[in-house]
């Protein structure tokens, strides 16, 4: 790379832009709460509201990745951010539920920026530095925490209608800043980019389905919880919006910024071992988080004794923080699997796996709301996540059982690679 400073400039500008895009993608995690109150939405309707932007962000990941290969990351990233400015601004004028849903679909385009920035940044770095560069860029997931710091303060000061206007201005400024600090390289553009059908053809490989399921837990679950937790703190513990968002950031922040650390750990110990332990940590935490607030009356020799079980906000936040750290590491370890097993087809596979993760982030909040409406138990959202982790653990156990059985006792390292 020599003295060429363009790669660093591209990395910094792209990471900042992705952080802002992710913050806007998660905007309804906070904005949805006053809207829910104003429109009188039930939990299922609230789940659909906050998840709608995630749907577009997921579905556009594959075509945006193809366009990046064909036209270059700089112009696609810049155009994508500009396309989001007007829909974000118009949210401040929305009055009906369907207004928010339609505009949310357009705002969700910001979530597709991951599929643009990842190949754009990667091509500026040599292979030995590419993993670190992609990890730094992926830390832009911390934009979810940025929204939880900024949005409540803006809403408290000027009302919820001010938040979309501030975010629209922020997106426009970020797009211009990105354009002037980033660069184009004609050598990075391929006129023969693969088609959508060709990209989906990788689903013929059963390993891809496995990685889709893993990523739907560690990324889809992360997105779903990042959207849901502010509302959870308000409803479960009675915190105001600002405090609830701050506590929810204890999950969102490590879940974003530690992704680069997850890449380093995966390189050192292997994708299988890291993903396996990530799933076990999530399994234990979700089991504890699933337990609802419970009061039990026990008959004793001296009469009845009331026993109360349940998580207080401190222990709940600590467990949520642990889950955030585990998911950050897991997001990187899944992509380590892809890098190891599909070296010559990493773009196609990562696009499909990213699509699956985004769809998980769309479906889970809606299911959270529906289950709460059906059962009245807020912690039922963690019961659902507990079930998805169980699926991952069982699938991993049986998928890698032949490798564990056939591996020589003196050479356990093949477990680092998927088969």
Per-residue confidence (pLDDT) for residue 142, from 0 to 100: 87
Q: Tens of pLDDT along 7-38?
A: 999 999 999 999 999 999 999 999 999 999 99
The structure tokens listed for 39 are 């429109």
Q: Which fold has domain 6-416?
A: Growth Hormone; Chain: A; (1.20.1250)
Per-residue confidence (pLDDT) for residue 109, from 0 to 100: 94
Question: In sequence order, which residues have a C-beta less than 8 Å from that of residue 292 and are 6 or more positions away?
Answer: 310, 377, 378, 379, 380
In the chain, where are the structural domains located? 6-416
For the chain, the 3-state helix, strand and coil shares in percent, each to the nearest 5, are 80, 5, 15
Q: Tens of pLDDT along 289-327?
A: 998 888 888 888 888 888 888 889 999 999 999 999 999
**What is the pTM for the complete model shown?**
0.85
3-state secondary structure of 306: strand
Per-residue confidence (pLDDT) for residue 106, from 0 to 100: 95
72-76 contact pairs (CB < 8 A, 24+): 72/120, 72/184, 72/185, 72/186, 72/188, 72/189, 73/14, 73/116, 73/117, 73/119, 73/120, 73/121, 73/123, 73/188, 74/120, 74/179, 74/182, 74/183, 74/184, 75/184, 76/116, 76/120
Classify residue 301 by its DSSP letter. Answer: T
Query: Which residues, given as ranges, of the chain have pLDDT below 70?
Result: 1-2, 127-128, 131, 190-196, 199, 343-347, 401-419
Per-residue confidence (pLDDT) for residue 300, from 0 to 100: 84
Sign of dihedral through CA atoms 177, 181, 185, 189? Answer: negative
In sequence order, what are the beta bridge partners of 294? 309
Torsion region of 418: left, alpha or beta (phi above 0 gives left; psi -120 to 50 gives alpha): beta
Per-residue confidence (pLDDT) for residue 192, from 0 to 100: 60
């Amino acid at each position: 790379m020599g003295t060429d400073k363009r790669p660093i400039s591209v990395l910094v500008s792209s990471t900042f832009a992705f952080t802002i895009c992710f913050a806007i993608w998660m905007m309804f995690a906070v904005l949805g709460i006053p809207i829910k109150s104003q429109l009188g939405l039930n939990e299922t309707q609230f789940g659909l509201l906050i998840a709608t932007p995630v749907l577009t962000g997921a579905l556009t990941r594959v075509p945006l990745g193809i366009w990046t290969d064909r036209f270059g990351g700089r112009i696609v990233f810049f155009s994508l951010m500009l396309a989001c400015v007007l829909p974000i601004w118009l949210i401040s004028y929305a009055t009906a539920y369907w207004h928010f849903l339609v505009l949310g679909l357009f705002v969700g385009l910001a979530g597709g920026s991951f599929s643009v920035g990842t190949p754009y940044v990667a091509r500026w770095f040599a292979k030995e530095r590419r993993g670190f560069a992609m990890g730094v860029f992926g830390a832009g997931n911390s934009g979810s925490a940025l929204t939880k710091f900024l949005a409540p303060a803006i809403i408290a000061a000027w009302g919820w209608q001010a938040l979309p206007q501030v975010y629209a201005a922020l997106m426009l400024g970020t797009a211009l800043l990105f354009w002037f600090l980033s660069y184009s390289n004609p050598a990075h553009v391929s006129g023969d980019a693969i088609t959508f059908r060709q990209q989906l053809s990788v689903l013929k490989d059963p390993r891809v389905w496995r990685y889709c399921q893993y990523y739907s837990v560690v990324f889809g679950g992360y997105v779903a919880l990042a959207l849901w937790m502010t509302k959870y703190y308000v409803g479960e513990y009675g915190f105001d919006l600002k405090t609830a968002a701050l506590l929810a950031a204890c999950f969102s922040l490590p879940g974003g910024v530690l992704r680069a650390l997850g890449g380093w750990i995966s390189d050192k110990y292997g994708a299988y071992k890291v993903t396996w332990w990530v799933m076990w940590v999530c399994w234990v935490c979700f089991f504890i988080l699933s337990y609802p607030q419970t009061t039990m009356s026990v008959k004793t020799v001296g009469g009845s004794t009331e026993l109360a079980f349940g998580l207080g906000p401190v222990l709940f936040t600590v467990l949520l923080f642990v889950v955030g750290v585990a998911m950050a590491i897991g997001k990187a370890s899944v992509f380590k699997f892809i890098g190891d097993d599909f070296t010559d087809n990493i773009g196609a596979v990562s696009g499909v796996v990213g699509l699956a993760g985004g769809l998980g982030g769309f479906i889970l909040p809606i299911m959270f709301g529906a289950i709460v409406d059906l059962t009245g138990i807020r912690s039922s959202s963690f019961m659902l996540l507990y079930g998805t982790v169980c699926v991952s653990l069982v699938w991993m156990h049986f998928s890698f059982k032949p490798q564990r059985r056939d591996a020589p006792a003196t050479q356990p390292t093949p477990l680092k690679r998927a088969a």
